């Protein structure tokens, strides 16, 4: 069983960037975001044929990624994390504009000050481009809750940006 290779390739092509952005907004780490995205597509390859309505594939992927992130977070609390900051400093720096890097860093810092439930909703809406309906399906919450979380999240983000800058 499983997903036909052409269908799998189409889904990866259509949703990889959005899933990666969402994973990065949750994990705040490139390697973890890549792992989460790959794990999500692995699960899709194994269980994607159980999705009855293919229009729900996008929601299924985002819900699966969120659940994988939460599962990894629970597991990581059981084990000690070893930092590799020294090794990272030895890597060549990626060339970015100082202004862009500063703006991105401030935005990420501000987003991290937003409550987790609002942060997830903001990330799905702005970074992944999901509609209210898709967010509601992904998080298994009513659309009204999505709208209120976006509103409250924007207010918290605005406040966080004013204190970070």
Q: Does the pLDDT of residue 158 top 60, yes or no?
A: yes
pLDDT number for residue 102: 56
Count CB-CB contacts under 10 A for residue 100: 9
3 conformational bin, left if phi > 0, alpha if psi -120 to 50, beta if neither? beta
Mean pLDDT of 109-128: 85
Q: Please state, in angstroms and as integers, the Cα–Cα distance from residue 111 to each residue in 52, 103, 125, following that order.
A: 35, 12, 13
Q: What is the pLDDT of residues 24-81, one digit of tens each?
A: 988 888 989 999 999 999 999 888 888 888 888 999 999 999 999 888 887 766 655 5
For the chain, what are the domain ranges? 1-80, 97-165
DSSP state of 118: H
Residue 99's pLDDT is 52
- What local confidence, expressed as pLDDT, does residue 54 receive? 85
- Stated pTM of the model: 0.57
The topology under which CATH files domain 97-165 is Arc Repressor Mutant, subunit A (1.10.10)
At the topology level, CATH places domain 1-80 in: Rna Polymerase Sigma Factor; Chain: A (1.10.1740)
> pLDDT tens across 137-152, in order?
888 888 888 999 999 9
Quote the CA–CA distance of 54 and 51 in Å, as a whole number: 6
Share of the chain above pLDDT 90, in %: 25
Asked if 113 and 153 touch (Cβ cutoff 8 Å), the reply is no
- Between CA 62 and CA 59 the distance in angstroms is 5
Token pair 């692995």: residue: 42
């Amino acid at each position: 069983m499983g997903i036909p290779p052409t269908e799998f390739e189409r889904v990866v092509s259509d949703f990889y960037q959005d899933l990666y952005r969402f994973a990065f907004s949750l994990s705040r780490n490139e390697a973890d975001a890549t792992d989460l995205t790959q794990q999500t597509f692995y699960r899709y390859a194994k269980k994607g044929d159980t999705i009855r309505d293919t229009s729900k594939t996008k929601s299924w992927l985002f819900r699966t990624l969120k659940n994988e992130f939460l599962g990894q977070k629970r597991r990581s609390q059981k084990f000690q994390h070893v930092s590799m900051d020294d090794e990272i400093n030895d890597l060549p720096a990626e060339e970015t504009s100082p202004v862009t890097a500063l703006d991105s860093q401030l935005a990420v810092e501000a987003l991290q000050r937003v409550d987790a439930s609002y942060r997830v909703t903001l990330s799905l809406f702005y970074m992944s481009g999901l509609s209210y309906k898709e967010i509601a399906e992904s998080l298994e919450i009513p659309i009204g809750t999505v709208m209120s979380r976006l509103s409250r999240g924007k207010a918290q983000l605005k406040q966080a940006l004013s204190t970070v800058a």
